[in-house]
Amino acid sequence: MRDGTQEATRARPSVAMCTVERVDDVRRVADDIRHSGGTVGFVPTMGFLHDGHRSLMRAARAVHDVVVVSVFVNPLQFGPAEDLDAYPRDLPRDADIARAEGVDVLFVPSVAEMYPEPPLTTVSVAGLTDGLCGTTRPLHFAGVATVVAKLLAIMGPCHAYFGRKDFQQLAVVRRLVSDLSLPVTVVGCPTVREADGVARSSRNAYLAPAERAAATVLMRALAAGVEAVHAGERAAGRVGDAVAAVVAAEPLATLDYAEVRRADDLAACERLDDGVEAVLALAARIGTTRLIDNTTFTVVDEDVVADLPVPSVST
């Protein structure tokens, strides 16, 4: 693997992207690359790709000999009343996006390929899945952890790229990889946002125009929380209250949660400790569509270092 600080995309001959549907085939491709001395960058997705996914592909493309992207809508992570059947899918479009980003292998297994029989083995990560999205989606993270463990076992030694927008998921994956001693390096990449601050998400496709406009409330609410910390607030609960107040003022939004947790282990905290990175996480329904977002920040003496950008379009 080349130096990870290098940003230019690896120069290579133009090679047509191949689409693979079988587990044995994608495993063989990854093994062949490693046996020849190359490295594999892996981007697992549920498809309906957007600029956030593109950023993960570009990060992988910059440092790896072969980039593999998977598209698999995992039924295990959807509850009985959730949107599995309605989840947006457009595989031809996904293939075009992956090809344009220089992806080498598009792995598109069927449900029958991934789960030939109903799985009797599941993976759960205790503690990290308590609270936040785990409260209202109790089946979700066991489904996520199970499919990620399976995909990483299929891929073998690699770097796996995930977005920081799903911060709880990223924490779960990192702990899963550590606890199971998987030969995988997990890379968390920055959240990609629209010009008005709305985080890119496949579920944004569900939003009607008025709901899309209302979705800016998540970014505005997070900004209000960070501003409260800038103003000297150190009680985690009050920071969450500042976020909740902004969401409550949006008629089309219904708050699920707004909480501050320690960023490294998602442990609850009562106060913001100096020098300790925290994550301010938020989930809300805009109409019927559930969206999530977050920002991380660290209090350093009287200053606050946060990763939340300022939107280029005022609201």
The catalytic residues are 53
Sheet with 184-189, strands from edge to edge, namely 18-20, 105-107, 66-71, 40-45, 158-163, 184-189
DSSP, res 148:
H
Using the Cα atoms of residue 36, residue 58, residue 49 and residue 306 in order, give the sign of their dihedral.
Answer: positive
CA gap 18, 1 in Å, rounded: 22
The helix (H) or strand (E) run that includes residue 247 is: helix 236-248
Question: DSSP letters along 34-84, please?
Answer: HHTT--EEEEEE-SS--HHHHHHHHHHHTT-SEEEEEE---GGGS-TTS-T
The 253-262 sheet, strands edge to edge: 253-262, 278-286, 289-300, 303-306
Q: What is the DSSP letter of 17?
A: -
- CA-wise closest residue to 300 among 280, 272, 279: 272
Strand partners, 159: 41, 185
**Residues found in the chain:** 315
Q: Which helix (H) or strand (E) holds 292?
A: strand 289-300
| Partners of 43 in the β-ladder | 69
**If you search the block for the tokens 């457009």, which residue do you land on?**
90
Tell me the Cα Rg of the chain: 20
Which whole-number Å values give the CA distances from 302 to 17, 260, 272, in the listed order? Answer: 51, 19, 12
